[in-house]
Amino acid sequence: MASTAYVSTWPTDPRAFESLFEATPSAIFALDRAGRIVGANAAASQLTGYSRDELIELDISQLAQDSIQFVSDALTAAEKREASAVEMDFRRKDASLVPVQVTTIPILDGKHAGGVFFRVEEAHYLTEMRRTRAHMRTLAYYDSLTGLPNRIFFQERLRDALEHAPGQLPCVALLFLDVDRFKDINDTLGHALGDRFLQLVGERLVLLVKNRGIVARLGGDEFVVLAPCRGDADVRELAEELLATADQPYRIEGYEQFITTSIGISVYPDHGRNDQALIKNADIAMYHAKEQGRNAYFFYDESLEAPIRSRLAQEKQLRRALKHDEFRLQYQPIMRIADGNPLVAVEALVRWNHPSEGMLGPDAFIPAAEASGLIVPLGEWVQKTGAAQMRQWQERFGFLVLAINISARQFHQRDLCERLVEIVTGAGLLPQAIEVEITESMALFDAEHAVETIRGLKRIGAQIAIDDFGTGHSSLNYLRRFDADHIKIDRSFVAGLGGPGSDDTIVKAIIAMGHSLGLKIIAEGVETPEQYEFLRAQGCDLVQGNLFAPPMDPSQLEKLLAARV
């Protein structure tokens, strides 16, 4: 009974299926064996933007290039009555592309296929995937912090520019720009403000360069400008503008921050014929600008390479030396004048027991350690080793102060105080047994920050000495604010005592000034009884120098300490 009802409603006239064809939400194209469109429904017209009449004029290959292949595939597969689905792009009337999924269905006329139906559905997931891909591309090509093109994008652009360079302009310049002492800024401001700072730098560069070239961020505090040019004069002008714009003050959260930059320049074709050579050489020139005192630009030149290579080689060696424990500490006694020159403190002085060159003094490697940032781990090694040693000595010989030299890099670290306390107390020593030696110039580089750091060091209980005093600005004003415990008169003044262009007056003045500020005076590099006598007569408080004891190994110093007890 049920089957009779079914049959009775089944339309026998094929035209009755047209309503189904029309109403179905999928776009359907009826194609003949040659791929000509012979029928299309309303959805097909909507998808493509063509009217029904226009569609009937077209071949399916005009909508989708390789679709004709699928027509013949579908015809071949007709006997098996197979439908198959493929993905392709349809070109709309307005030339835009729409990703679709096409199901091909043979139109059977008995066993013979007279044509093919294309049932076409917009492939939203494909659109989505493409959008993601485009987004990924943005991620891959732009720096997320500054929104500037990144290194990958930049290199592509550079390669493009070089390909077209011969016919266009005589040269293309690459200006490699690096913020001076950015690490200090980052350490002082913190990373969030450091980031903000880089954004401001990026914005400024873009505003300056405008359509003269492109600005990209290569990473860290490295920016690069790529600019077509007519000659050196062009490039110099741009470099000078860049330096000038970068060193205008930056307002960050109410702070006024100043920076300078160093720029290295390479020019195509003179300094390299491909992107890698140009970038590398601009980098070398930039490195040179840094070494020449920063805030400058330099063009690449072959002669710049040798010293930089040796510097890099040394950095590598230093890194290895840290790992292989090749550093040593020597200690130099500091005596108090007032009560018969007892040994009251020792200064830790680092040496490098180099595998092939023997024992090296700090002047041979501290500058490279500073420049590379390795001074931070090296400095911590000094603190750790010195503190452990001092803890032992205090147990055996009584209270003694350990003076430690701090480099500029370390001094500008945000967490200097925390780390120092951790290291010192970790070794079982009181911070009161530590004296931190900082140089005048370090303190004056960023005086506000220095005042803060010194306050922090005092708060944890450490003492402060201003080292190499007299060689820098010797600003009385700052000295008052620094709240140090000691001034160390630079050894060059001590060496000049009683000599021809005598430094007597300078030394006298430093002692008097220090005392007036409530500071105690240490004279370093005391070598002769005459020097000592002069200093004592002037009221100098402490002395250090070869006259009493040179820097020595721990075992030697122990003999002195044993004699003291």
In this structure, are residues 178 and 283 in contact, taking their beta carbons and an 8 Å threshold?
A: no
Q: Does 362 bind ligand C2E (CB under 6 A)?
A: yes
Given candidates 105, 350, 487, 511, which one binds ligand C2E under the rule CB under 6 A?
350
Site for ligand C2E in 155-194 (CB under 6 A): none
Following DSSP, what letter does each residue of 8-45 receive, concatenated?
HHS--SGGGGHHHHHH-SSEEEEEETT-BEEEE-HHHH
Distances 415 to 324, 386, 412 between C-alpha atoms, Å: 26, 20, 9
Residues 6+ apart with CB under 8 A from 487: 465, 466, 469, 479, 510, 514, 519, 520, 521, 522
Q: Does 405 bind ligand C2E (CB under 6 A)?
A: yes
Compute how many residues bind ligand C2E; rule: CB under 6 A: 23
Given candidates 194, 202, 272, 525, which one binds ligand C2E under the rule CB under 6 A?
525
In this structure, are residues 37 and 44 in contact, taking their beta carbons and an 8 Å threshold?
A: no
Contact segment (CB under 6 A) with ligand C2E among 64-72, 98-106, 254-262, 342-350 equals 342-350
Strand extents, DSSP E, 41-197: 84-91, 97-109, 112-122, 171-179
Q: Does 395 bind ligand C2E (CB under 6 A)?
A: no
From CA 365, how far away is CA 351, in angstroms rounded?
9
Dihedral sign of CA atoms 269, 273, 275, 278 in order: negative
Please give the radius of gyration of the chain, using alpha carbons only, rounded to the nearest integer: 39
Q: Which is nearer to ligand C2E, 327 or 393 (CB)?
A: 327
Q: 446 contacts which partner out of ligand C2E, Ca ion, none, CB within 5 to 8 A by kind?
A: none
Q: 301 contacts which partner out of ligand C2E, Ca ion, none, CB within 5 to 8 A by kind?
A: none
From CA 551, how far away is CA 559, in angstroms rounded?
13
Given candidates 435, 440, 467, 541, which one binds Ca ion under the rule CB under 5 A?
467
Taking the complex as a whole, the smallest distance from the CB of residue 350 to Ca ion amounts, in Å, to 11
Taking the complex as a whole, the smallest distance from the CB of residue 161 to ligand C2E amounts, in Å, to 44
Q: Which is nearer to ligand C2E, 285 or 526 (CB)?
A: 526
From CA 215, how far away is CA 148, in angstroms rounded?
7
Q: Which is nearer to Ca ion, 45 or 474 (CB)?
A: 474
Q: Which is nearer to ligand C2E, 355 or 361 (CB)?
A: 361
Taking the complex as a whole, the smallest distance from the CB of residue 329 to Ca ion amounts, in Å, to 13
Taking the complex as a whole, the smallest distance from the CB of residue 492 to ligand C2E amounts, in Å, to 9
Distances 200 to 63, 218, 246, 377 between C-alpha atoms, Å: 49, 16, 10, 31
Q: Six-digit token pair at 551?
A: 């820097």
Q: Does 437 bind Ca ion (CB under 5 A)?
A: yes
From CA 407, how far away is CA 411, in angstroms rounded?
6
Q: 525 contacts which partner out of Ca ion, ligand C2E, none, CB within 5 to 8 A by kind?
A: ligand C2E
Exposure letters 135-160 (e unless 16+ CB within 10 A, then b)? eeeeeebbbeebebbbbebbbebbee
Q: Does 436 bind ligand C2E (CB under 6 A)?
A: no
Q: Which is nearer to ligand C2E, 232 or 380 (CB)?
A: 380
Q: Does 349 bind ligand C2E (CB under 6 A)?
A: yes
Q: Does 499 bind ligand C2E (CB under 6 A)?
A: no
Q: Does 503 bind ligand C2E (CB under 6 A)?
A: no
Mark 443-482 with x for binding to ligand C2E (rule: CB under 6 A) and - for no binding. ------------------------xx--------------
Site for Ca ion in 398-427 (CB under 5 A): 405
Contact segment (CB under 6 A) with ligand C2E among 8-16, 152-160, 284-292, 522-530 equals 522-530
- By residue count, the chain amounts to 565
Given candidates 491, 510, 522, 523, which one binds ligand C2E under the rule CB under 6 A?
491
Q: Does 333 bind ligand C2E (CB under 6 A)?
A: no
Q: Does 366 bind ligand C2E (CB under 6 A)?
A: yes
Q: Does 420 bind ligand C2E (CB under 6 A)?
A: no
Q: 541 contacts which partner out of ligand C2E, Ca ion, none, CB within 5 to 8 A by kind?
A: none
Phi, psi of 14 (to 5 degrees): -55, -30
Residues 6+ apart with CB under 8 A from 378: 318, 322, 327, 350, 369
Phi, psi of 361 (to 5 degrees): -80, 165
Q: Does 332 bind ligand C2E (CB under 6 A)?
A: yes
**3 burial level (CB within 10 Å; 0-12, 13-18, 19+):** exposed
Q: 332 contacts which partner out of Ca ion, ligand C2E, none, CB within 5 to 8 A by kind?
A: ligand C2E
Residues that bind Ca ion (CB under 5 A): 405, 437, 467-468
Residues that bind ligand C2E (CB under 6 A): 332, 348-350, 361-363, 366, 379, 382, 405-407, 467-468, 491, 524-527, 545-546, 551
